[in-house]
Chains A and B, each alone.
Chain A
Amino acid sequence: MKVLLVDDEKELVTTLAERLGFRGVEARWATTGRDAVALAVAEPFDVAVLDVKMPRVSGIQLKKELERIRPEMKFVFVTGHGSEEDFRIGSAEADRYLAKPLDIDALVETLTEVVSP
Chain B
Amino acid sequence: MTQSAASGERPADRTPTGSWVRPDLEVEGKRYSLNLRRMWQLTALLMILVSVAPLVVLTAIDYRITEKSAESEILLNTSRVVSNTKLAVEFSLVERIAALDFIVLDNSFDELNDCSRVAEILERLQASFTGFVDLGVIDSEGHQFCYAGPYDLAGVNYSAAEWFADVQKVDTYISDVFAGFRHVPHMVIAVRHDLPDGSFFVLRTSVEIALLHKLLANLEISGDGDAFVINRQGVLQTSSRFHGDVLEPLGLEVPAYSTATRVYETSDQGGQPLVVGYAYIANTPFILMIVNQKEALMEAWSDTRRQVIGLLVVSLSIIVVVTLGVTTYLVGKIRWADRQRVAALHQTEYTSKMASLGRLGAGVAHEINNPLAIIKEKAGLMKDLFHFGDRYADDPKLMGIADSILGSVDRCSAITRRLLNFARDTDTTPVPVDLAETVTEVLGFMGKEAEYRSIDVVVEIEDDVPEITTNRGRLQQILLNVINNAFAAVQDGGRIEIAVDRRDAERVGIRVTDNGCGMTEAQRRRIFEPFFTTKSHHGGVGLGLSITYSLVSELGGSIAVESEVGRGTTFHIDLPVEPGPKGGASR
A binds B: yes
What are 18 A-B pairs at a CB distance below 8 A? A12-B374, A15-B381, A16-B377, A22-B387, A80-B365, A80-B369, A81-B362, A81-B365, A81-B366, A81-B369, A82-B417, A83-B420, A84-B424, A84-B472, A100-B370, A100-B372, A100-B373, A102-B376
Residues of A within 8 A of B388 (CB): 22
- The reply to whether A15 and B374 contact each other, CB–CB distance below 8 Å, is yes
Nearest 3 pairs of A and B residues by beta carbon = A80-B369, A15-B377, A101-B373
Query: Which one of B362, B376, B384, B421 lies within 8 Å of A101 (CB-CB)?
Result: B376
Asked if A104 is at the interface (CB within 8 A of a chain B CB), the reply is yes
Known contacts A12-B373, A16-B377, A83-B427; can you find 7 more A-B pairs with CB under 8 A? A9-B370, A9-B374, A15-B377, A82-B420, A84-B429, A99-B417, A101-B373
Query: Which one of A16, A18, A100 lies within 8 Å of B369 (CB-CB)?
Result: A100
> Does more than half of chain B's interface fall in helix, strand or loop, or is it mixed?
helix
- The reply to whether B427 and A102 contact each other, CB–CB distance below 8 Å, is no
- The reply to whether B427 and A84 contact each other, CB–CB distance below 8 Å, is yes
A12 to B376, CA, bound (A): 9
Tell me, rounded to whole Å, the shortest Cβ–Cβ distance linking A112 to chain B. 18
Asked if A43 is at the interface (CB within 8 A of a chain B CB), the reply is no
Asked if A109 is at the interface (CB within 8 A of a chain B CB), the reply is no
B365, B372, B378, B380 pick with most chain A CB within 10 angstroms: B380
Interface residues in B24-54 by Cβ distance below 8 A to A read none
Tell me, rounded to whole Å, the shortest Cβ–Cβ distance linking A108 to chain B. 12
A84 to B417, CA, bound (A): 12
B381, B429, B472 pick with most chain A CB within 10 angstroms: B381
Question: Interface residues of B toward A: which range?
Answer: 20 to 34
Asked if B100 is at the interface (CB within 8 A of a chain A CB), the reply is no
Residues of B within 8 A of A9 (CB): 370, 373-374
Asked if A19 is at the interface (CB within 8 A of a chain B CB), the reply is yes
Interface residues in B412-442 by Cβ distance below 8 A to A read 413, 417, 420-421, 423-424, 427, 429, 431
Write out, one digit per residue, whether chain A residues 62-87 have a CB within 8 A of any chain B CB (1) or not (0). Answer: 00000000000000000011111100
Write out, one digit per residue, whether chain B residues 346-386 have a CB within 8 A of any chain A CB (1) or not (0). Answer: 00000000000000001001110110111111101100100
- The reply to whether B362 and A80 contact each other, CB–CB distance below 8 Å, is no
Residue of B nearest to A105 (CB): B380
Residues of B within 8 A of A99 (CB): 417
A11 to B376, CA, bound (A): 11
Asked if B465 is at the interface (CB within 8 A of a chain A CB), the reply is no
Asked if B409 is at the interface (CB within 8 A of a chain A CB), the reply is yes
Residues of B within 8 A of A82 (CB): 365, 417, 420-421
- The reply to whether A101 and B372 contact each other, CB–CB distance below 8 Å, is yes
Tell me, rounded to whole Å, the shortest Cβ–Cβ distance linking A98 to chain B. 11
Interface size on A, residues (CB 8 A): 20
Query: Which one of A12, A80, A83 lies within 8 Å of B377 (CB-CB)?
Result: A12
Tell me, rounded to whole Å, the shortest Cβ–Cβ distance linking B340 to chain A. 33
- The reply to whether A84 and B374 contact each other, CB–CB distance below 8 Å, is no
Residues of B within 8 A of A80 (CB): 365-367, 369-370, 373
Tell me, rounded to whole Å, the shortest Cβ–Cβ distance linking A26 to chain B. 16
Tell me, rounded to whole Å, the shortest Cβ–Cβ distance linking A102 to chain B. 6
A12 to B380, CA, bound (A): 11
- The reply to whether A102 and B377 contact each other, CB–CB distance below 8 Å, is yes
Tell me, rounded to whole Å, the shortest Cβ–Cβ distance linking B394 to chain A. 18
Write out, one digit per residue, whether chain B residues 386-419 have a CB within 8 A of any chain A CB (1) or not (0). Answer: 0110000000000000000000010001000100
Residues of A within 8 A of B421 (CB): 82
Residue of B nearest to A81 (CB): B366
Tell me, rounded to whole Å, the shortest Cβ–Cβ distance linking B500 to chain A. 22
Residues of B within 8 A of A81 (CB): 362, 365-366, 369, 420
Interface residues in A12-66 by Cβ distance below 8 A to B read 12, 15-16, 18-19, 22, 53
Write out, one digit per residue, whether chain B residues 299-337 have a CB within 8 A of any chain A CB (1) or not (0). Answer: 000000000000000000000000000000000000000
A101 to B373, CA, bound (A): 4
Residue of B nearest to A13 (CB): B377
Query: Which one of B377, B424, B431 lies within 8 Å of A19 (CB-CB)?
Result: B377
Tell me, rounded to whole Å, the shortest Cβ–Cβ distance linking B368 to chain A. 8
Residues of A within 8 A of B427 (CB): 83-85
Instruction: Indicate whether A11 sits within 8 Å of B374 (C-beta atoms), given known contacts A83-B362, A100-B369, A101-B409.
Output: yes
Residue of B nearest to A15 (CB): B377
A19 to B380, CA, bound (A): 8
Tell me, rounded to whole Å, the shortest Cβ–Cβ distance linking B557 to chain A. 21
Tell me, rounded to whole Å, the shortest Cβ–Cβ distance linking B439 to chain A. 19
A85 to B429, CA, bound (A): 10
Instruction: Indicate whether A102 sits within 8 Å of B417 (C-beta atoms), given known contacts A19-B380, A22-B388.
Output: no
Residues of A within 8 A of B372 (CB): 100-101
Residues of B within 8 A of A19 (CB): 377, 380-381, 384
Residues of B within 8 A of A83 (CB): 362, 420, 423-424, 427
Query: Which one of B370, B378, B409, B420 lies within 8 Å of A15 (CB-CB)?
Result: B378
Tell me, rounded to whole Å, the shortest Cβ–Cβ distance linking A6 to chain B. 14
Interface residues in A99-117 by Cβ distance below 8 A to B read 99-102, 104
A9, A22, A102 pick with most chain B CB within 10 angstroms: A22
A102 to B379, CA, bound (A): 12
Residues of A within 8 A of B376 (CB): 101-102
A100 to B375, CA, bound (A): 11
Residues of B within 8 A of A84 (CB): 424, 427, 429, 431, 472
A27 to B129, CA, bound (A): 161
Residues of B within 8 A of A102 (CB): 373, 376-377
A53 to B373, CA, bound (A): 15
A19 to B386, CA, bound (A): 12
Instruction: Indicate whether A22 sits within 8 Å of B362 (C-beta atoms), given known contacts A11-B374, A83-B423.
Output: no
Residue of A nearest to B412 (CB): A101
Tell me, rounded to whole Å, the shortest Cβ–Cβ distance linking B410 to chain A. 8
Residues of B within 8 A of A12 (CB): 370, 373-374, 377
Residue of A nearest to B384 (CB): A22
Residues of B within 8 A of A104 (CB): 377, 380
A9 to B362, CA, bound (A): 19
Interface residues in B104-153 by Cβ distance below 8 A to A read none
A43 to B424, CA, bound (A): 40
- The reply to whether B378 and A11 contact each other, CB–CB distance below 8 Å, is yes
A24 to B230, CA, bound (A): 152
Tell me, rounded to whole Å, the shortest Cβ–Cβ distance linking A9 to chain B. 6
A102 to B377, CA, bound (A): 8
